[in-house]
Structure 1
Amino acid sequence: MPASDFTYVYILRSTSAKDAHYTGCTNDLDARLQKHNEGGVPHTAKYRPWIVETAIRFRDPAKARAFEKYLKSGSGRAFAKKHF
């Protein structure tokens, strides 16, 4: 399967701000990281630059979105902090 056939849930870590993380979902991880680092995402612009801390690839976009939603919840953030 080509990489574009997958959906990625990713966690970014800022290299300029201690403890700044961002969780998102995309079909093109490289392009999305570039957009974050260019300042094209308002939520992440002031903590640039970013690196990918964790990326998980899903075949099913619905499962990816559900996992992203979970990681953005309180228990999901605790899970990510402990495991990623």
Structure 2
Amino acid sequence: MNVNPALPKKYWHYVYLLKSKETPYIYIGCTSNLVKRLKEHNEGKVYSTKKILPVELIYYEAYRVKAYAYKREQALKKYGSGLAKLKQRLEIKGRAG
């Protein structure tokens, strides 16, 4: 899952949304290895999503600068309006936790 094939994966940082297949729960996270992190979530290795498995990746954004990715993650978690607008644009239902 490399956004730009010319750049190695290690140069990208991802903000992502996971949706539980069983509940209306949406999880917001940030990682530098999206494929590995999604696997960890679905293997029950992440405390925050362990009780809502299975989860599926429904959205991600890629950033070249780690600080920007974490700032975006915090903005989505802290300010409900940013997440609400994103959910509306993507036609996603569910609640973030």
TM-score normalised by the chain length of structure 2:
0.80
Q: Which residue matches 1:57?
A: 62
- Identify the match of residue 14 of structure 2 among 8, 17, 24: 8
Letter in 2 for 1:16: E
Count of residues in correspondence between the two structures? 83
Instruction: Name the CA distance, whole Å, in 1 between partners of 2:62 and 2:35.
Output: 13
TM-align CA RMSD: 1.0
Unaligned residue ranges in structure 2 (runs of 5+): 1-6, 91-97
Larger radius of gyration: 2
Identity %: 39
Q: For residues 1-84 of structure 1, what are the structure 2 equivalents within 5 Å?
A: 1-17=7-23, 19-72=24-77, 73-84=79-90
Unaligned residue ranges in structure 1 (runs of 5+): none
